[in-house]
Each structure stands twice: as structure tokens, then as C-alpha cells.
Structure 1
């Protein structure tokens, strides 16, 4: 499948997270330990906010992350307080730039790991449910981008978690009408620059891996001289497909059917329950 991470905290150089960690996202593109596939070399995407109310910047490429020299230069130059990065392992759809995550619509970005089972069988049914005013913004052919625009249709800009619950419920109901009993597997992240919203959920209750960082304030006390931690600030927060470093007490697995909402120092957890149409 894919691997992704999302960061919120003090502005940091992107290379600190993307390259310097022992099991960084770049390392995971070649040596994923917890993913459905070991290698995630079908493209890379990075989206970041310099200011919360701005449209995010984005870089996407079909190059494997480990072989993208432009990505290394960009990550060395850019600092940001919030960003999403994604490495892709393609399933139903081709390797092309428009299929690389994160997807973007105005201030919102979206990244996904997982799949809609038998997506070609339900693709048309899902596409026609997208708000006509947003439909022409679709650029690629992935199930992930369709999920994003369904969530936008169901109110992502106003009520992020309920909109994602309605999206998941609609996908499940649509697929089951086609005889697909366990259609949805997802870890997803959406952001508008002011908040990160992440979800771990699957129809079968066996979702892809997802972790979040433990208290950075606590980690500062445990590892006061570790530069990977000190620069991020006490309120920094990371959500990752796989732990980036092997520091004890650094990571907590996100439970099944859970949504996380990060707004500055405030982090809320709630049960994720899909809502049918």
C-alpha cells in the first residue's frame, strides 16, 4: 500500500523528519516494516503550510522518494509548522503525478493509505455522488482522490470528522450493494492548515498501521540532548504509518476505529463510526 506522516508543531526543517530519522519516511519507501508492501516506490508527495490561512504548497513526483534529488533539496530548504508527506505503492491505478498524494482543494489536503476493495466496480457509483461544483477539480484516477472529494461533498470544510464518517458510510453502503462485504480499509489524514484530522478505520476491523507521538514534553525530559526532539517544541505532534525512531515510550498505536483531531496543543480522540446514506 502506502506510508504517510503528518506533523504539527514548531516550524522544523522538513528534512529533519523526512530524511534524518533512523526509520524515516524515505527509508520506509524502501524498507517498510509494517506496510502491506515492503517497497513504496510509485511516487512521493509533500504538502506544507507556511501560514494557517494560506493555500498549502505542494510537491509531487512519480520518482521513488529515495531517488528524488529535488525532494532532498526542497526538504533541506523549507521549514514549516504543519505538513503531510506520502509515499505511494499503486494498487488499481497508474503511476502518474496526478495520482500522488496529498490531494489538495483550496486550503484542504488529504492523504490515504489503504484501498476501496474492487474499486473499478464501484468507481462510477461513487463519482456521480460528488458535488458537481467540485467534480471538475478531480485530476487523477485513484480511489483516494474520490474519497477526498466525497468527504468535501459531505462537509469536510465545516465538520471534518462527521464528513469523513459520512464518506466512509457511503463507500461501504455503495460497495455492499455490489456484493463487496468488506470494502474499505483506510488510514487517512486531512488538514486545512489549522488542524490535522487523522482516522484509522477498516470495514473488517484490521486496519493499516498508524501511530502517534507520545508527549513531546515527556520526551524532552527523557531525552534532553536529542536534537530530533528539542527543536519540535513541547506541543509538537506526529502521526505516522510507522514509528520513525526506536526511542522507548515515543510512540502509541492508534486504536481501531479512532479519529484524532490536532489543533495546536489540543489533541482530541473520538470513536469513528461510519454513517450510512
Structure 2
């Protein structure tokens, strides 16, 4: 499927996030430990916030391990909020418009998983997108349609409720088409101020998701770790799989959970689909 990370905290270079960790996202693009596939080479994307009103996005169909532009950009770009995603296609084309993260105004969105039998339900799902949003869908993935359904159901006002309604709608449509387990997902979305991360699947066996534990505690335990010492105490990471093997650095996000990261606070909320 895919692998992703969401970072918030003091500004860091993209290189520190994407290349330097032992099990960095670039390493995972060839050698994922916990993904449904070992290789995630169907493109990648990075989204980050700066002084501009909307986030920047860089996406490529090259494998992350083989893109010289990503290496060059990552050395120079710094941000206090970063989304990064490596893609393993579940059937849709390898093209830039299908690479995550997806952007709408200040919002970023990325997804690991799939809407099962998407060609069978695509028309019903796409027609439910609010007409004013529909022209902004650029690619052909289930993930982007999912994003625009969440926007349709109020993502900009109430994030957990909007995603719950979108998932409820996807499951309803899928089951009406005879699909037993319509959705598998870990999702992250942000408006540049707060990050919401979701772990859920119709079958209750979802793809892996972890969050970093308290940075100040880790800094005290590992004073020689240069990467850790450069982070602020409110730095937080949400990842598909741990970026390294530091003991106590990672906590698994429970099944059927919404994780809300705002500043140094990280709160768990129970998550379940609702009728759209």
C-alpha cells in the first residue's frame, strides 16, 4: 500500500526527516518492515508549511530512493509541519496527480490503504462530492475522492465528524455493491495548525500506525542522539512505521482511533463511522 509521516514542532530540514533516520521514509520506500508491500516505489510527495498562506507540495512519480531533486530540496527546505508519503499503487496510474499528499487551500491529506473494488463504487462516491469541489479532483485515486468526500462532509469545520461521515458513506456504498470490507485506512490531514490522524478498517485489522513519545524524555535518555537534541519539546511525529529502534520512542496508535496533535498535546479519540 503506502507509508507516510506527519511531523510538527520546531522547524527541521526535510533531510533530517526523510533521509537521516535509520528507518527513514526513503529507506522504507525500498525496504518497508511493516507495510503490505516491501517496496513503495510508485512515486512520493512532500507537503510543508512556510510563510506562504497555503502549503507547498512537491510530488514525483520517481521512486523516493532515486530522485535527485528530492535529495536537493530536502537539504535546503525547512518547516515546522511536514507531510511526506511514499506510494505503492493499488491499481490506479502512476502519475503526479495521483501522488499524495493532496492539497485543498490550507489543507493537506494523505492515505495508506484502499477503498476496495474502487472501480465498482467510484461513480457513486464521486457523484456525492459537493459540486463546487468536484472540479478540483485532478487524479484518479480512491484516496483523493476520499479527501473530497471528507471536505464535502465538513472537514474544515469538524474533522473527526467529517471523516466519520465520509467513511460511513463509503462503507454504505460498498456494502450496497456487495463489498464485505469496503475500506482500509490510516489517514492524516492538517490545516497547518493541527494534525488529525486516523486508524480504522472495516475488518478491524488496520495498517500499522505509531506516534512518537515525549521528546524531552527521549532527549534525556539519549543525550548523544543529534537528531533528538535538535528537536523542540513539542515536536511530534505520526508514522506508518517507526523511523528507528530507540527503545521507548514509539507508541502504537490503537485500532479505531483518531489522534489529534496540537502543539505538544496529543489526544486519542475513539473513532467509528457514522451515517452520512
TM range (shorter): over 0.9
Aligned length, in residue pairs = 276
For each residue in 1:220-261, what CA deviation from the matched residue of structure 2 results, as whole angstroms up to 9, or x when unmatched?
111122111111111100000010010000000110000011
Q: Is it true that 1:22 corresponds to 2:26 in the alignment? A: no
Post-superposition shift, 1:267?
Answer: 1.5
**Paired residue secondary structure (1:132):** coil
Post-superposition shift, 1:276?
Answer: 1.7
For 2:26 and 2:128, locate their aligned partners in 1 and report how far apart those are by CA, in whole Å: 36
Structural RMSD (CA): 0.8
Q: Determine the structure 2 residue equivalent to 1:98.
A: 97
Unaligned runs of 5+ in 1: none
**Paired residue secondary structure (1:101):** coil
**Paired residue secondary structure (2:133):** helix
Q: Is it true that 1:184 corresponds to 2:183 in the alignment? A: yes
**Paired residue secondary structure (1:136):** helix
For 2:50 and 2:18, locate their aligned partners in 1 and report how far apart those are by CA, in whole Å: 17
Structure 1-normalised TM-score? 0.98
Contact 1:92/1:119 (<8 A) preserved: no
For 1:185 and 1:176, locate their aligned partners in 2 and report how far apart those are by CA, in whole Å: 14
**Paired residue secondary structure (2:23):** coil
**Regions of 4+ moved over 2 Å:** none
Post-superposition shift, 1:208?
Answer: 0.4
Q: Is it true that 1:2 corresponds to 2:29 in the alignment? A: no
Unaligned runs of 5+ in 2: none
For 2:231 and 2:71, locate their aligned partners in 1 and report how far apart those are by CA, in whole Å: 20
For 2:78 and 2:153, locate their aligned partners in 1 and report how far apart those are by CA, in whole Å: 33
For each residue in 1:90-127, what CA deviation from the matched residue of structure 2 results, as whole angstroms up to 9, or x when unmatched?
11201000000000000000000000110100000000
Contact 1:220/1:234 (<8 A) preserved: no
Q: Determine the structure 2 residue equivalent to 1:250.
A: 249
Structure 2-normalised TM-score? 0.99
Question: Matches of residues 134-173 of structure 1 in structure 2 within 5 Å?
Answer: 134-173=133-172
Q: Determine the structure 2 residue equivalent to 1:64.
A: 63
For 2:226 and 2:169, locate their aligned partners in 1 and report how far apart those are by CA, in whole Å: 44
